[in-house]
Amino acid sequence: MAADATDLSTEALARRRFLKRGSAGAVATAAAALQLPARAAENVAAAGAEAANLPPNVPEWTKSLGEPTASPYGMPSRFEKTAIRSLYPGLKEPMSAYSTSPLQELDGIITPNGLHYERHHAGVPQIDPALHRLMVHGLTRRSLIFTMDELRQFPSESHIYFMECSGNPSFLPPWGKTAAEVAGLVSGAQWTGVPLRAVLAHIGVKPGAKWVIAEGADGAGMTRSIPIEKCMDDVLLAYSQNGERLRPEQGYPLRLFVPGFEGNMSIKWLRRLEVADQPVYSREETAKYTDLMADGRSRKFSFVMECKSLITSPSGTHRLTRQGRHEMRGIAWSGHGKIKAVDVSVDGGNTWTPAKLDGPVLNKALTSFRAPFEWRGQELMLMSRAVDETGYVQPLLSELLKERGSVSFYHNNSVQPWRVAANGEVTNGRA
């Protein structure tokens, strides 16, 4: 049977079935079942035999050949225009800048590589992997320089981990409109690489070694000091991300990956590791990435990204278009390990109910949660609050400010509220 005839008869048959049963009635049933607004049901009645939500014709794509198989590297649909990275609001200089993952468009615990958040200090270098080297030296029994091929010969491990910028968001207003603007400097991926402990065992670490200084090969030469216990634990020399080689903006061909710690410590374009007995007190751990406290002292070496959650749907700029049952969805994560639970509220934190954790719950990885809620056209304040396996509970902003003082900048893991207005519009509950 020719494709056209089959398609037309299927569509026509479907229409006839609807007409037989009384299309207005059948589609009105559909509308009612999903509790569509009254307007849709009226359209159905007005349209008569032509059900309001049936497309008018057999679509073009059903009657023709599509595009060829085997695009060498596939891209998203041209109809997906809003699932893109954006410069963090207010930034204009693109070399020392960050870009956000469009969390309000995403699902699950894996962020596609093209949408992983970025934070750069001198733009994105395009490194030739054949020329890239990693030097490992210092308080070591020997000093070695590795090529990428040599590193890939070490035992490899793959782990699903989150990564988060320590300024996600900062404590400064404005708070942003969308989930991306509010907290889009977090992403999840499966990272593959060499456990750093395997390389350190290979070269031999001398007594007195307490830190590893990691330095990047980009124009900014980003440098951080990592405690050696962490390096002997789960730090990776990562070369793959979600199966393929790292993206340039995530450090191609090699980055340090420090699970659960501030994103800036996962030094990109890694070229040097120096084993030392002291931290190097780089700019990035003194002038930056420290927290000024109320008494004038700075909290430094605040490594761990604490337990946190974010409702991604519905979130700022979304709109509820019907009354009835909805599902809120979001992500939770903790630098201390696994998420134990997520509670949600629709009344600004007066009452809480447990959300369902959906999919695998993994150590230091994004964890999906979802929870049903009812909307009857009233104003709501949606919130989520995560608890990790240590028992730590994600704090409210007021609790966090009380503890840290109001001049603190980084590590804002407070509960994020989303306001639902009577007309269904969703906005940032802080603004």
> Site map for its own copies, 366-405, x if CB under 8 A?
--x-x-x---------------------------------
Phi/psi at 163 (5° precision):
-135, 140
The span from the CA of 429 to the CA of 431, in Å, is 6
214 neighbors 226 (Cβ within 8 angstroms):
yes
CA-based torsion, 273, 274, 279, 284: positive or negative: negative
Residues 97-126, one symbol each (x = binds its own copies by CB under 8 A, - = not), give: xxx-----xxxxxxxxxxxx-xxx-xxxxx
Beta-bridge mates of residue 205: 140
Q: Kindly tell me which residue out of 6, 286, 298, 398 binds its own copies, with binding defined by CB under 8 A.
A: 6
Number of other residues whose CB lies within 10 A of the CB of residue 4: 12
The single residue among 8, 170, 209, 248 that binds its own copies, judged by CB under 8 A, is 248
- Site membership for its own copies, residue 8 (CB under 8 A): no
Q: Cβ distance 409 to 165 under 8 Å? A: no
Beta pairing, strands 270-276 & 134-138: parallel
Which one of residues 16, 17, 206, 319 is an interface residue with its own copies (CB under 8 A)?
17
For strand 236-241 and strand 353-354, is the pairing parallel, antiparallel, or unpaired? unpaired
CA distance 102 to 114: 11
Among 9, 10, 351, 378, binds its own copies (CB under 8 A): 10
CB of 131 vs its own copies, minimal distance in Å: 5
Bridge partners of residue 410, in order along the sequence: none
Instruction: Give the separation between CA 289 and CA 285, rounded to whole angstroms.
Output: 5
Tell me, rounded to whole angstroms, the distance of Cα 112 from its chain centroid: 9
Compute the least distance from the CB of residue 97 to its own copies, in Å.
4
Which tokens hold the place of 400? 């966090």
Q: Which of 167, 176, 184, 253 touches its own copies (CB under 8 A)?
A: 253
Binding mask 31-70 for its own copies (x = CB under 8 A): --xx----------------x-xxx---x-xxxxxxxxxx
- Least distance in Å: CB of 327 to its own copies? 5
Smallest distance from the beta carbon of 74 to its own copies, in angstroms?
Answer: 4
CB of 173 to its own copies, least distance (A): 22
Residue 29 or 427 with smaller CB distance to its own copies = 29
CB closer to its own copies, 95 vs 287: 95
C-beta of 8 vs 396, nearer to its own copies: 8
Touching its own copies, residues 124-143 (CB under 8 A): 124-129, 131-133, 135, 137, 142-143
Token code pair at residue 322? 């019907």
Annotate each residue in 69-88 with x if it binds its own copies (CB under 8 A) or - if it does not, as one string: xxxxxxxxxxxx--xxxxx-
Q: Which of 416, 213, 154, 178 is nearest to 319 (CA)?
A: 178
Regarding 147 and contact with its own copies (CB under 8 A), the answer is yes
Contacts (CB under 8 A) with its own copies, residues 167-206: 188-190, 192, 202
3: CB partners within 8 A, 6+ apart: 63
Report in angstroms how near the CB of residue 203 gets to its own copies at its nearest: 8
Measured distance CA(230)–CA(210) in Å, rounded: 10
